[in-house]
Every structure is written in C-alpha cells, then in structure tokens.
Amino acid sequence: MRENKNIQKLTFILLMILSVYLNAQNPIVPNKGLNDPHIHIFNDTAYVYASHDKSIKNRKFIMEDWWIWSSPDLINWKKESVLKPKDTYIEDVNFTRCWATDVAYRNGKYYWYFSEGNQQTGVVVGDSPTGPWKDPLGKPLLTSELTSTDEYDMAIFEENGEHYIVFGVWDYYIAKLNYDMISLAEKPRKLEVNNARGPYNQDGNNLEKPTDDKPFLHKYNGKYYLSWGCFYAMSDNLYGPYDYKDSVIKQESFVTGYDSPTWPNGFQQGRHGSFFEWNNQWYYAYCDISQTGNRYFRDTFISYVHYKENGEMSTIRVDGVGVANYNASAKIEAEDYFKAEGIEKKETENGFVIKTNAIKSYLNFKNVKGLSKKSKMTLKASSSKGAKFAIKILRNSLKGELIGYKTIESISDNDYFRDITFSLKKLQQKEDIYLIIEQLTNNQLQIDSFSFSK
C-alpha cells in the first residue's frame, strides 16, 4: 500500500513538472545559448537578432557567430540565419567574440550591425530580414579610436525616417547615420545621464563604472528611454540629457525557480536586451541565466512592459510563462494581451487594467491552454452607471466562430469591479481567444482580469 502511495506521489510530482514545462515559454529558445536579444517586427513577424553562447560547458565567453530567429507569435521560434566572422571584414575563422548586434530597415534593404568583441562595430546588408548578407565596407563602421568609450554593443533607433546609432560602455555616444546606413552623418555626441545607477553602481558612488555596457534607445508617448540592461533613464530630447529613473527588474519580479543564480553583482547584472512594441503591446527581451546556472551560457526571456501615468515603466514579472502564453487554470490579467485595438492601459493602486477608448474594441489572447474541461469565462469589469455593452467571445480570428455572447447593462460605478460570467461553447485544449467589445452607450468599459471555470 505504501509503495502504491509513493508511486502515486511520484506520478503527481512528474505531472506537475510536465504541466509547468508545457506551459512555459521562458526561455524562448531553451538550451541554445541565444542571448543579447534585439527583437524587431518586419511584415508582422518577430525577428530576434542575437549573439550565441557556444556551449553549456563554457567557462568564458565563447561566441562564434550571430543568429537570427523568427516567430509569428513570440511562442514558436525558427532559426533563420547565421552570420559568421569569416563572412565579414573580420575574416578570422577562429574568432570567438561575436558580441551584441542590432538591425535596421531602410529603402528595401536590411542593415545588420554587429560587435567585434568589445572594440568595434561592423555592418552587413541584405534584401530580406534574414539575408543573405554582404559586407559593404570591408572594414568597421565604428572604429576603436572614434570616441573615448569602446565602440561596441550598439543599438539602432529610428524616428521619422532617420536612423541613429548608440553605443559604448559606462559613457554612451550617439550619431545620426547617413542615408546609406553604412556611414555617419555627424560626429558622435556623448549622452549625459544624470544620477546614473547600474549593477556596479547601486548607490551612485561608483563614478568609474556608473552604468554598464549594452545601451538601447526606444520612445514611448513622446518620451525617450535610454536603457542599459534593466536600468533606464528618460528625456524629452533624443540627445538628452537623460535623468535616471529606475530598474525594471527588482527582487519582487521573480517567481520561484527564476530568482537564482545571479551574476557576481546581483540579479540586475547582465540583463542585456531590448524594448519593443507589437500589436499595441510593449515587451522587454533580455538575458537570463536562472535556468542554465552558467553566466557564459545565457538564455533569452521576454516579459510584458506596462507604463505608469508618469511615463516610468512598472516592475516586470520574471517567470516561465513568458508572453503570448496563457494558462486557463489561473487568472489572466487583461493588460497582458497579445493584440488589442481601441483600448488603453490604466494604472491602478493594484497594477493595471484595460479601458476601452473606441466604440468597438478588441483583445486577443493567443495560446490559452488547458481549456478542454472549461465551459465558463468570468470577466472582472466595471463602468459608469447607465452603461451598456455587447461583448462577443470568438475563437481563432475577428471573424471566427462565436463561442460566447452577452449584453451588459449598468455594471457598477467606475473602479468597482464585479464578475460577469459567460457560458461558452465546447472548447479545445488550446484556443486563440478574441474579446470583441461594443459600446452601446457613450461609456467606457474597464476589465481587470478574467478566468475560466467548469
């Protein structure tokens, strides 16, 4: 009898482990050493331009090539292209310092920039997001004597059809690129960062190493964000000055199993990555070693990014679920959608909700798993008194099969959320769910979260 109980217990544990594995999507490409991720959206497809740690056995950085992987949904990834040093001006077949990389598109061409270790930056050009690639210069674009910093770990920022390259360690420099994308239109300018912090400078007293390497630039709601790993500063102007704000990764970011091990300077070190937008949702792609245990064999994680009313970024969640990936056995936060139109995110005391800002709106949640025994869906929603809405739940597309419908009237006062339950048609184990919301009165609907039940 005891043996049977032990077998049952072991079976339960194995099933739990399998369930976690099946519902996991961080790292996005496990056990491959995909790191330093820069994700760009071309033709409604996500492409990650990345460096590549050679082996789990690495005891130093051994990076022999640069990679491109693609995904239609941030879940399923396919290796598309490999760039080797011998195919660039570097030419050395034994070169093992293929460091961070980024890409830009202009006038029908794709320009892929790459770091020659921590010294210089080169560029190749291709007719598609995945190449094939040619080295148009036969020499570095950014040479080691160009500035007082090191000319590597670059990022490309685009605004109004113009492109800029930012690079460096400890101090960052920016320069506008010429129309040809393979030469500089100006002398690089130093980006001033006020009150900087970083993994080596938690208290602000390390003036020798105030920030980190791997700068990145993005723009949201009229503000410019200069980041170095998970730390960031903000400015009203592209050329700065920038004021340090915060880190998007804190101790409370981690779920169990994803909080260790860390780098020598803690869990905020080594978080090279990029911020990107797709389908009205923001994300942060970054390096992680919690699953490999080896700082020289890194993975790539992706987390949602939500912006506060003051423009600062909220602390992200670091877990195995990742993005565009949902578990029907748990509460699903409305702001963690994959696609949306006609909505905006609203900051609350407890986090974020979504709010409609159009007569017709929709939310899309792909890869909702564990639905085969579920028959109901419950929204936590609120609106002003006298409001009326029609909500449709469809599968697979905006023109897909109707699996749930309800007209809602007089929900409650704003910010007081109540449950609204829908009966659903028979569900498959995994579904692509769309919520279509129509405002039948001049009122906005707020949704905090939703869940499924039997």
Q: What is the pLDDT of residues 86-125, one digit of tens each?
A: 999 999 999 999 999 999 999 999 999 999 999 999 999 9
Decide if pLDDT at 1 tops 90. no
pLDDT band at residue 24 using 50, 70 and 90 as cut-offs? low
Contacts 24+ apart (CB under 8 A), 15-21: 20/320
What domains, with CATH codes, occur in the chain? 27-324 (2.115.10.20), 329-453 (2.60.120.260)
Residue whose C-alpha is closest to residue 167's, from 122, 198, 219: 122
Task: Report CA dihedral (226, 228, 233, 237) to the nearest 10 degrees.
Answer: -20
Say if residue 250 is exposed, middle or buried (CB neighbours under 10 Å; 0-12, 13-18, 19+).
middle
| Residue 109 confidence (pLDDT) | 98
Q: Are 445 and 417 in contact (CB under 8 A)?
A: no
| Residue 153 confidence (pLDDT) | 97
3-state secondary structure of 330: coil
DSSP 8-state class, residue 132: -
Number of separate helices (H) and strands (E) present in the chain: 1, 31
Q: Which amino acid is at 301?
A: F
Q: Are 90 and 326 in contact (CB under 8 A)?
A: no
pTM (global) more than 0.85: yes
> What is the token pair recorded at 48?
């990650």
Residue 227: phi and psi, rounded to 5, are -120, 155
> What distance lies between CA 254 and its chain's CA centroid?
16
| Residue 384 confidence (pLDDT) | 85
> What is the token pair recorded at 178?
């010429």
Q: Are 114 and 131 in contact (CB under 8 A)?
A: no
Residue whose C-alpha is closest to residue 257's, from 211, 204, 293, 221: 293
| Residue 173 confidence (pLDDT) | 98
Q: Are 293 and 49 in contact (CB under 8 A)?
A: no
**Parallel, antiparallel or unpaired: strands 360-369 and 215-220:** unpaired
Query: Cα–Cα distances in Å, from 206 out to 210, 212, 243, 244?
Result: 6, 11, 17, 15
Rg of the chain in Å (alpha carbons): 24
Tokens 């409609």 sit at which residue? Answer: 356
Mean pLDDT score of the chain: 94
**Parallel, antiparallel or unpaired: strands 98-106 and 109-116:** antiparallel
Q: What is the arithmetic mean of pLDDT over 387-402?
A: 96
For the stretch 49-73, pLDDT in tens is: 999 999 999 999 999 999 999 999 9
What's the CA gap between 165 and 107, in Å, rounded? 18
> What is the token pair recorded at 22?
């099946």
> What is the token pair recorded at 347?
């900051």
For the stretch 398-453, pLDDT in tens is: 999 999 999 988 666 666 899 999 999 999 999 999 999 999 999 999 999 999 99
> What distance lies between CA 125 and its chain's CA centroid?
25
Q: Are 203 and 214 in contact (CB under 8 A)?
A: no
Tokens 């500089």 sit at which residue? Answer: 184
| Residue 19 confidence (pLDDT) | 36
Q: What is the arithmetic mean of pLDDT over 271-297?
A: 97
- Of residues 20 and 105, more confidence is placed in 105
> Which helix (H) or strand (E) is 166 found in, with range?
strand 162-167
What's the CA gap between 74 and 68, in Å, rounded? 14
Q: Are 298 and 270 in contact (CB under 8 A)?
A: yes
For the stretch 253-268, pLDDT in tens is: 999 999 999 999 999 9
pLDDT band at residue 130 using 50, 70 and 90 as cut-offs? very high
